[in-house]
Amino acid sequence: MAPDRVVPFAKPLPRPAEAAPAAAVARLVLTDFRGYDRVRLAVEPGPVVLVGANGSGKTNLLEAISFLAPGRGLRRARLSTVDRRGGGAWALAATVTTPAGEFDIGTGRDAASESGERRHLRIDGAPAKSQQDLSERLAVVWLTPQMDRLFADAAAGRRRFLDRLVAGFDPDHWSRLLAYERAMRERGRLLREGAADPSWLKALEEIMAETGVALAAARLEAVARLAAACAEAPGPFPRAGLAVEGTVEAALAAVPALAAEEEFRRALRESRALDRDSGVTQTGPHRSDLLARHFDTGEAAAFCSTGEQKALLIAIVLAYARLMALRRGACPVLLLDEITAHLDAARRSALFQALLALGAQSWLAGTDAALFAEFRGHAQFFAVADAALSPA
């Protein structure tokens, strides 16, 4: 194995006096991750800028940090595809600092698992009970070029984006989401096979009703908070009007939670034949959607330009970071890939100033160092080339 390539950043960064407490990655070690054989990166709590040509490895670093949150990372990749070609199963280790203290995370692909597609996870050297343990300690949110038209694409991407934000407010959201999806998959399997045990179907639908209503309620609460924060946000980014659309969410707006559960149970029971024939569960929070509009013009986000859609997404993420600082006492880690694309000079400057005011550890990646010139003296700059890093 090649020796570690240690890329430190020694110069302390100025921290705005008004900045909120923040979570930060202090150390990151990658082994056989994408194009990286083994590299160790040490950084300060402030912003980090990664500059390099397309294909140099910038996004791979952001993806590695995204694995400090539950799930399959910002690319939603099969874990085996993350392995370095010719290497072993990928692994990463990180030291994370928060206002509550410092802790270590170790995770990677468990090649010995039955499918080879499971993640192992250790926190402070001990096996974690579940990936939810990550969301209880750290919030990570990202924007990638693929998300620039999130509001014009399919609803599934918007639900994933929303659920990651909701889990920042309520870490139990992940466990409820997993329980709901497991019950839905098992119910679908039983319906396809036919001659399903009615009592087992009923039990699965009970789980779906309880967890589904809880999911919908958490989404509604989070979106209400985000919408209020977006409406009050100053600056050149457009204010975002937000809402959640779905059958369970609509029921919760009309009746108490227990009545909404019963209504959902009845809908599942009555749709068994249709769900069996179509192979799809027709109703539930897995079909809900995040709706957004430009607050000042009233235009639906889906019909805004790509630049305005990106600006709306940035406004939402900044509002989320402010709320997280108030609710959990720490800003989340922000991963912003090619974030300057489609932003004019005024909005680039506003974004940099907002990130500094937040005090969040934001990781920004781009191909043109000149677009980040205003961040010089405030951020840590690294040049990335051929999966190697150097201070820039």
Q: So what's the pLDDT on residue 298?
A: 92
Residues 6 or more apart in contact with residue 368 via CB below 8 angstroms: 51, 340
**What CA–CA distance (Å, rounded) separates 178 from 208?**
11
Element (H, E) at 249: helix 247-254
Six-digit token string for 124: 């402070």
pLDDT (tens digit per residue) in 68-127: 999 999 999 999 999 999 999 999 999 999 988 999 999 999 999 989 999 999 999 999
**What CA–CA distance (Å, rounded) separates 291 from 316?**
12
Phi, psi of 238 (to 5 degrees): -65, 145
Could you please report the per-residue DSSP string of 315-331? HHHHHHHHHHHHHTSSB
Q: So what's the pLDDT on residue 260?
A: 97
**CATH code, residues 1-139+328-392:** 3.40.50.300
Q: So what's the pLDDT on residue 19?
A: 61
Can you give the C-alpha Rg of the chain in angstroms? Answer: 22
**What CA–CA distance (Å, rounded) separates 34 from 51?**
18
Domain locations in the chain as residue ranges: 1-139+328-392, 151-313
Q: So what's the pLDDT on residue 17?
A: 46
Contact assessment for residue 380 and residue 50, using Cβ atoms and an 8 Å cutoff: no
| SS3 assignment, position 128 | coil
Six-digit token string for 301: 């986000």
**What CA–CA distance (Å, rounded) separates 80 from 70?**
17
Q: Which of 97, 94, 96 is nearest to 106 (CA)?
A: 94
Residues 6 or more apart in contact with residue 50 via CB below 8 angstroms: 58, 61, 62, 363, 364, 365, 366, 382, 384, 389
Alpha-carbon distances, residue 30 vs 76, 336, 365 (angstroms): 18, 20, 18
**What CA–CA distance (Å, rounded) separates 289 from 278?**
21
Contact assessment for residue 72 and residue 89, using Cβ atoms and an 8 Å cutoff: no
**What CA–CA distance (Å, rounded) separates 240 from 224?**
12
Q: So what's the pLDDT on residue 18?
A: 54
Q: Which of 164, 161, 212, 223 is nearest to 184 (CA)?
A: 212
Written out in words, the top-level CATH class of the domain with range 151-313 is mainly alpha
**What CA–CA distance (Å, rounded) separates 31 from 11?**
26
Q: So what's the pLDDT on residue 8?
A: 43
Residues 6 or more apart in contact with residue 206 via CB below 8 angstroms: 265
Q: So what's the pLDDT on residue 20?
A: 62
**What CA–CA distance (Å, rounded) separates 358 from 277?**
51
Q: So what's the pLDDT on residue 212?
A: 98
Q: Which of 73, 70, 61, 69 is nearest to 28 (CA)?
A: 61
**What CA–CA distance (Å, rounded) separates 286 from 263?**
16
Residues 6 or more apart in contact with residue 211 via CB below 8 angstroms: 176, 177, 179, 180, 183
Q: So what's the pLDDT on residue 328?
A: 84
What is the torsion angle, in degrees rounded to the nearest 10, for the CA atoms of residue 375, residue 378, residue 380 and residue 382? 20
Six-digit token string for 143: 């924007």
Alpha-carbon distances, residue 78 vs 62, 74, 186 (angstroms): 16, 11, 22
pLDDT tens per residue across all 392 residues of the chain? 344 444 444 344 444 445 667 899 999 999 999 999 999 999 988 899 999 999 999 999 999 999 999 999 999 999 999 999 999 999 999 999 998 899 999 999 999 998 999 999 999 999 999 898 998 899 999 999 999 999 999 999 999 999 999 999 999 999 999 999 999 999 999 999 987 788 999 999 999 999 999 999 999 999 999 999 998 876 789 999 999 999 999 999 999 999 999 999 999 999 999 999 999 999 999 999 999 999 989 999 999 999 999 999 999 999 999 999 988 888 999 999 999 998 999 999 999 999 999 989 999 999 999 999 999 999 999 999 998 999 98
Q: Kindly state the DSSP code that residue 305 receives in the 8-state scheme.
A: -
Contact assessment for residue 332 and residue 169, using Cβ atoms and an 8 Å cutoff: no
Q: So what's the pLDDT on residue 12?
A: 40
